[in-house]
Amino acid sequence: MILYVLENVLMVEFLGLTFLIIASILNKKFLKITRIIAYIAFLTLLLYILLKILVTILS
């Protein structure tokens, strides 16, 4: 169940990374906000990978 939730979170944060690219092209004001989203996306991706490895080992 947790992995499904994390997959959905990663999909949303992938959109955030897409907005980061668009914001860096269009306007520097949005860059600060979307940079925070990018850091959160990266940390969530690491957490997802670690949980996936843990579930694989335990099952």
50 located within any domain: no
6-56 confidence digits (pLDDT tens): 677 777 777 777 777 777 777 766 667 777 777 777 787 788 888 888 888
54 located within any domain: no
pLDDT at residue 8, as a whole number: 73
Count of structural domains, the chain:
1
pTM surpassing 0.75? no
46 located within any domain: no
**11/56 Cα distance (integer angstroms):** 22
Full residue range of the structural domain in which residue 1 is found: 1-41
5 located within any domain: yes
Task: Work out the number of other CB atoms within 10 angstroms of the CB of residue 35.
Answer: 14
Contacts of 7 (CB under 8 A, 6+ apart): 48
22 located within any domain: yes
52 located within any domain: no
8 located within any domain: yes
9 located within any domain: yes
